[in-house]
Amino acid sequence: MIRNILTIVFVFFFSLCILFSKTVLAQEGGPMEVVKVKYLNADGLVAGRTDSVYDLNLGPDGNVYVAEYRRNKVTVMDRGLNVLRSIDVTMPHGVVVDKKGFVYVATYDHGRVYKFDGEGKEVPDWDKSLKEQGHTKIPVAMDVDKDGNVYIADWGTKTIILASSDGQFLSAFDTSKIPGGELSPHGVLTDQTKYVYVADRSPAKCVRVFSLAGDYVTQWNIGDQVWEPLAVRFINKTQLGVPDYKSGSIHVFNLDGQAVSTIGTAGRKEGEFLYPMNLIADAEGFFYVVEQDGNRVQKFRLKK
């Protein structure tokens, strides 16, 4: 009798352990398979921020564009993370490539948004009117829509600027209805059809959602968890990834704004993140992440 009771208790707790492990596995997004790690410094992993990388994006050519903030260049690599060429630009903070292959680079310290053609030649004075009219002060990140218009997350003006492909000011988002009345945009993403998502590093620390016209809609959080979102990117058609500066991981949200899983954890090892700044996902299901302190690009996929 006692043996049977002990057996039932053991099976019960064993089942709970299995259930708990599966729950944690789901929350952690599944184990990662690191495919390749590209160190952007000959010394490998950098202990500190002497050679920080802040952003990356995919171009229509399938190449990976990486903003190397302290090395004053945008490095262009193939998806195998082999370096192809570089574009010289002072302290690049954000980078995006439109469907025609034009490269836009936001420079935090110089307050400029540069535009380059596919060969890396600058389009002269692309942002001249934006600067002269005071629309941009400290641009940090961008996205482009299907018409070639550029959404600029501007830390200095505390809003999102919409500019045409030829650098003309179109509009600025209305932030007056935001709870708390403050926006400190660090990342911006348009879904091309309905919404614009903004990673907000103001005291609210959340993902803000706006209409394409710039009207405030709602905000996303992770329950009561304290976090610090840095960017927003689609990782597939129904989910978005948000790098978290505080936890060193990437939170995955569905289109309803619910946090459904977490990818990775803070750490120095390959497969861990030293302050992940942004990520991209290609059509084959591979992820690419840049880290502020890691000075590296990690390519991985989630094991099924």
pLDDT-based confidence at residue 294 (cuts at 50, 70, 90): confident
User: Residues 146-165: what's their mean pLDDT?
Assistant: 97
User: Residues 222-232: what's their mean pLDDT?
Assistant: 94
Look at the alpha carbons of 34, 36, 41, 44 in this order and tell me if their dihedral is positive or negative. Answer: positive
In this structure, are residues 197 and 240 in contact, taking their beta carbons and an 8 Å threshold? yes
Q: What is the distance between the alpha carbons of residues 287 and 75, in angstroms, rounded to a whole number?
A: 18
pLDDT digits 0-9 by tens, 230-266: 999 999 999 999 999 999 999 999 999 999 999 999 9
In this structure, are residues 248 and 24 in contact, taking their beta carbons and an 8 Å threshold? no
In this structure, are residues 154 and 198 in contact, taking their beta carbons and an 8 Å threshold? no
Higher pLDDT, 170 or 223: 170
Confidence check: pLDDT of 130 > 90 = yes
Tell me which residue has tokens 């059509």: 283
Higher pLDDT, 5 or 44: 44
Query: What mean pLDDT value characterizes the chain?
Result: 88
Token pair, residue 125, equals: 């004075």
Taking only Cα atoms into account, the Rg of the chain, rounded to an integer number of angstroms, comes to: 21
Cα-to-chain-centroid distance, residue 261: 16
User: Residues 46-66: what's their mean pLDDT?
Assistant: 83
> Half-sphere exposure of residue 214, counting CA atoms within 13 Å on the CB side?
16
Provide the greatest CA pair distance for the chain: 86
Residue 74, C-beta contacts closer than 8 angstroms, at least 6 positions apart? 65, 66, 67, 68, 86, 87, 89, 92, 95, 103, 105
> Half-sphere exposure of residue 84, counting CA atoms within 13 Å on the CB side?
15
**pLDDT given for residue 18 in this prediction:** 32
Question: Which of 299, 254, 291 lies closest to 273 in space, CA to CA?
Answer: 291
**pLDDT given for residue 121 in this prediction:** 96
pLDDT-based confidence at residue 303 (cuts at 50, 70, 90): confident
**pLDDT given for residue 179 in this prediction:** 86
